[in-house]
């Protein structure tokens, strides 16, 4: 009888040791799968970013969002695989995730709006990376990234600005970089006693000598307005979008220097008191 008890206890102990070893093996293997999947997702994400940088057919604006989708798809698949190792039914997981997704969606409507707005920004592409834009709410700068939730732009003074995608999508967007050419309008003020025709010739000579100028469309220098103490001449010229500020700054500098050299004076407001 004691021998039978001893054998039973011995076999029971061996069985429990086998179960413990099996659990430890599954746990170790699951940890390795989880770490490997997490590491693989990061590697694939970096590889995807580098790969698309060599392709001229993929807009760099969509890269951050596509990279995030790839990374998190691999991570979610890895997590489901790990749970399946422990006998968890994946169908139940999908059902739970669906219910949780619905609840989270109702609780985070604003966040989902940002995701939807980000998708629309990437599909319709009113803005792209490296383009200079301004919104009707006052924000402006160069687009750095359009992500899943946020749009990042760099302002002219170097400040980094992060905006929710829904705010960008719901705003009127002025895109200053989309067209290849831009028009520059510069007002020039002259006194009534000045020779206007001579002033127009002087200004036109300065305009035509500028290296940033596009000759098509043709530059125009015309009188556009009469004010109380001055005549307004509008200088209307065109340049490449990348040379807009170079042309504008150089014309402001050169036009006044040429007018001053030819004896033109700055008009001042004059009041007659009787």
CATH number for the domain harbouring residue 84: 1.10.287.1260
Are residue 24 and residue 78 in the same domain, yes or no?
Answer: yes
Handedness of CA 163, 167, 172, 177 (dihedral sign): positive
Q: What's the chain's average pLDDT?
A: 81
The answer to whether the CB of 123 falls within 8 A of the CB of 129 is no
Domain that holds residue 190: 181-261
**Cα 124 to the chain's mean position, in Å?**
14
**Is the domain of 206 the same as that of 222?**
yes
- What is the bridge-based pairing of β-strands 181-190 and 173-175? unpaired
C-alpha angle 9/11/17, rounded to 5°?
100
**Shared domain check, 68 and 9:** yes
What digits encode the pLDDT tens for the residues 172-200?
999 999 899 999 999 999 998 899 999 99
On the CB side of 65, CA atoms within 13 Å amount to: 25
Contact by Cβ (8 Å): 252, 271: no
Residue bearing the bigger pLDDT, 110 or 49: 49
Average pLDDT of the segment spanning 27-33 = 78
Indicate whether 232 and 216 sit together in one domain: yes
Q: How far apart are CA 28 and CA 34, in angstroms?
A: 10
- Whichever domain contains 124, its CATH number is 2.30.30.60
Same domain as 187, residue 170: no
Are residues 159 and 201 part of one domain? no
> Are residue 69 and residue 151 in the same domain, yes or no?
no
pLDDT tens string 134-165 = 999 889 999 998 887 889 999 989 999 999 99
**pLDDT band at residue 232 under the 50/70/90 scheme:** very high
Whether 104 maps to a domain, the answer reads no
Cα–Cα distance between 131 and 139 in angstroms, integer? 14
Number of domains in the chain: 3
Task: Indicate whether 224 belongs to any domain.
Answer: yes
The more confident residue out of 122 and 61 is 122
State pLDDT tens for residues 41-69: 888 888 877 777 666 556 666 677 677 77
Q: DSSP secondary-structure letter at 128?
A: -
135 and 155 share a domain? yes
Within-domain flag for 103: no
Most confidently predicted of 31-40, 52-61, 116-125, 140-149: 140-149
């Amino acid at each position: 009888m004691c021998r039978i008890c001893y054998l039973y206890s011995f076999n029971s102990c061996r069985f429990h040791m086998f179960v413990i070893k099996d659990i430890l093996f599954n746990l170790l293997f699951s940890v390795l799968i989880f770490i490997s999947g997490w590491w693989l997702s990061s590697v694939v994400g970096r590889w995807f970013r580098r790969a698309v940088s060599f392709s001229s057919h993929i807009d760099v604006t969509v890269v951050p969002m596509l990279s995030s989708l790839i990374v998190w798809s691999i991570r979610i698949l890895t997590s489901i695989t790990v749970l399946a190792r422990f006998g968890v039914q994946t169908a139940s997981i999908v059902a739970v995730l669906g219910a949780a997704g619905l609840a989270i969606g109702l609780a985070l409507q604003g966040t989902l709006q940002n995701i939807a707005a980000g998708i629309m920004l990437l599909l319709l592409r009113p803005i792209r990376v490296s383009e200079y834009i301004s919104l009707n709410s006052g924000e402006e700068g160069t687009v750095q990234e359009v992500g899943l939730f946020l749009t990042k732009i760099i302002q002219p003074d170097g400040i980094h600005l992060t905006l929710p995608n829904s705010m960008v999508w719901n705003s009127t967007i002025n895109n200053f970089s989309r067209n290849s050419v831009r028009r520059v309008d510069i007002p020039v003020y002259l006194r009534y006693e000045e020779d206007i025709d001579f002033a127009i010739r002087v200004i036109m000579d300065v305009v035509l000598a500028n290296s940033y100028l596009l000759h098509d469309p043709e530059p125009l220098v015309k009188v556009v307005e009469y004010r109380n103490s001055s005549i307004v001449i509008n200088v209307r010229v065109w340049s490449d979008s990348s040379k807009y500020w170079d042309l504008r700054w150089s014309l402001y500098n050169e036009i006044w220097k040429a007018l001053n050299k030819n004896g033109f004076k700055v008009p001042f407001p004059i009041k007659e008191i009787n």
